[in-house]
Amino acid sequence: MENLLSERILSTPPSFVRSILKTAMDPEIISFAGGLPNPVSFPQEELLKSMDSIVKTFGSAVFQYSITAGIPELRQYIADSYNKEFDLNLCADDILITTGSQQALDLISKAILNKNDGVILEKPSYLGAIQVFSQYQPKFHTVDLAENGLNIAQLKDVLKNDIKMMYAIPEFQNPTGLTYSKENREEIYEILKDTDVVLVEDDPYGKLRFEGQHLPYIGAGKLKNSIVLGSFSKIVTPGMRTGFIISKNKDLIKHISIAKEASDLHTNVFSQYLIWDYLMKNDLKAHIAKITELYRKQAQTMLESMDKYFPKTVKYTRPNGGMFLWVTLPEGVSSLKLFPKALEKKVAFVPGDPFYINKKDVNTMRLNYTNADCETIEEGIKRLGELLSEI
């Protein structure tokens, strides 16, 4: 069987999160492992109204094959909204609709990565990104992520290698919840501006800010090989798998579109009309305010519970938005080895290992706070605290 499979797939790790999904779905377990938005973020009644409306207005067009780039209405909406918020001077043709942000990572990799090409990742990085890039067998280089952003000296150092692409989540990073400071972003821009590196800024969580202001992108509108990724998964619905790629580099967009066409022809067209209609007819800001108000409370509850129940030797990040926070245990403690013990106490988290390239038994873990109510969060953290007090 090994002979039958591609080198590519044999070097692609299965997702740890998805492999424990069944365990974490046991209703007795309090799970901080997933990355599920709270269902309050799905405007069900409004979406149902929009379904009725688009079928009546557009008829068969919402059920028919469509163009690869995505429907012009939705692409124009995205261009307008990013122009308004970030002054990026985008037009509809700078946008490509994808089957969720995950597909965007696959299509970009397809269009630019040859085997052994250099790719820079944050350390730690999003496990789904490590998985999708691994399919293209690149050479990974990592740069430490700290409280205010990337380690600049390390970044300069890894850029001495032959680098094709850099992947970053500057706002409420997955897994750490950290956000790059304005100064850190400017420093990164200065370093990248004379290179050909394709900078992929993944921004699925930017709108989920409960403290402060969204900061300007590092490269968007400035770097020639800039790509920004966005998604409706965290603010409208993830089940509809609707994300997008923004780039003013026409040659990049053209070749990523060929990859898109070959990969699935086009994104679900019903979902595109649906989300567009919803956005045109509803107050998205008010909807997002409702979500972030909830997430603020849940994050606060988690942090207060950790202050109360965790030993003082355990450290954690304090995010201003997004869905995750990051816990650092005392040196030498393997969170992976704690995992089965946590399950015995009916609480789950994601051990740090899958967020690193080739590291085992790290002393970090990711906790999600968006998908449990405050009471459950406190109870889960209490159970984790008991476990951590025993180490």
Strand partners of residue 167? 121, 200
Cβ 8 to a second copy shortest distance, Å: 6
* DSSP code per residue over 299-311: HHHHHHHHHHHS-
Q: Does 12 bind a second copy (CB under 8 A)?
A: yes
* The only residue of 29, 47, 336, 391 in contact with a second copy, by rule CB under 8 A: 47
Going by their DSSP bridges, the two strands 163-168 and 226-231 should be labelled as unpaired
Q: Which residue has the tokens 């691994």?
A: 134
Q: Count the site residues for a second copy by CB under 8 A.
A: 76
Site for a second copy in 100-159 (CB under 8 A): 100, 102-103, 106, 110-114, 128, 131-132, 134-136
Q: Does 5 bind a second copy (CB under 8 A)?
A: yes
Kindly report the backbone phi and psi dihedral angles of residue 319, in degrees, each rounded to the nearest multiple of 5, phi listed first: -65, 150
Strand partners of residue 119? 140, 165
Q: Does 225 bind a second copy (CB under 8 A)?
A: yes
Decide whether 164 or 207 has the Cβ nearer to a second copy. Answer: 164
Q: Does 385 bind a second copy (CB under 8 A)?
A: no
From 58-66, 211-219, 282-290, 381-389, give the range in contact with a second copy by CB under 8 A: 58-66
Q: Does 241 bind a second copy (CB under 8 A)?
A: yes
From 52-60, 153-161, 171-179, 357-365, give the range in contact with a second copy by CB under 8 A: 52-60
* The only residue of 176, 237, 301, 335 in contact with a second copy, by rule CB under 8 A: 237
Decide whether 259 or 299 has the Cβ nearer to a second copy. Answer: 259
Decide whether 178 or 259 has the Cβ nearer to a second copy. Answer: 259
Q: Does 46 bind a second copy (CB under 8 A)?
A: no
Tokens, residue 251? 């040659």
Q: Three-state DSSP class for 218?
A: coil
* The only residue of 66, 226, 292, 368 in contact with a second copy, by rule CB under 8 A: 66
Site for a second copy in 194-223 (CB under 8 A): 196, 198
**Phi-psi category of 221—alpha, beta or left, where left has phi over 0 and alpha has psi -120 to 50?**
left
Q: CA 209, 210, 214 angle in degrees (round to 5)?
A: 35
Is-contact 127 15, C-beta < 8 A? yes
Q: Three-state DSSP class for 387?
A: helix
Decide whether 64 or 148 has the Cβ nearer to a second copy. Answer: 64
Decide whether 258 or 280 has the Cβ nearer to a second copy. Answer: 258
From 44-52, 79-87, 207-215, 340-348, give the range in contact with a second copy by CB under 8 A: 44-52
Determine the Cα–Cα distance for residues 186 and 251; give it in Å rounded to an integer. Answer: 26
Tokens, residue 244? 């997008």
* The only residue of 195, 263, 282, 334 in contact with a second copy, by rule CB under 8 A: 263
* The only residue of 139, 214, 222, 255 in contact with a second copy, by rule CB under 8 A: 255
Q: Three-state DSSP class for 206?
A: coil
Residues 55-84 as b/e (b if ≥16 CB within 10 A, e otherwise) read beebeeebeeebebbbbebbbbbbbeebee
Site for a second copy in 311-350 (CB under 8 A): none
Cβ 256 to a second copy shortest distance, Å: 8
Cα dihedral 71, 72, 73, 77 sign: positive
Cβ 195 to a second copy shortest distance, Å: 11
Determine the Cα–Cα distance for residues 19 and 33; give it in Å rounded to an integer. Answer: 11
Site for a second copy in 269-308 (CB under 8 A): 269-271
Decide whether 12 or 334 has the Cβ nearer to a second copy. Answer: 12
Q: Does 259 bind a second copy (CB under 8 A)?
A: yes
Determine the Cα–Cα distance for residues 321 and 235; give it in Å rounded to an integer. Answer: 13
Pick from 373, 388, 256, 362: nearest CA to 309: 388
Site for a second copy in 164-193 (CB under 8 A): 164
Tokens, residue 391? 């180490």
Query: For the chain, what is the radius of gyration of the CA atoms?
Result: 21
Cβ 376 to a second copy shortest distance, Å: 16
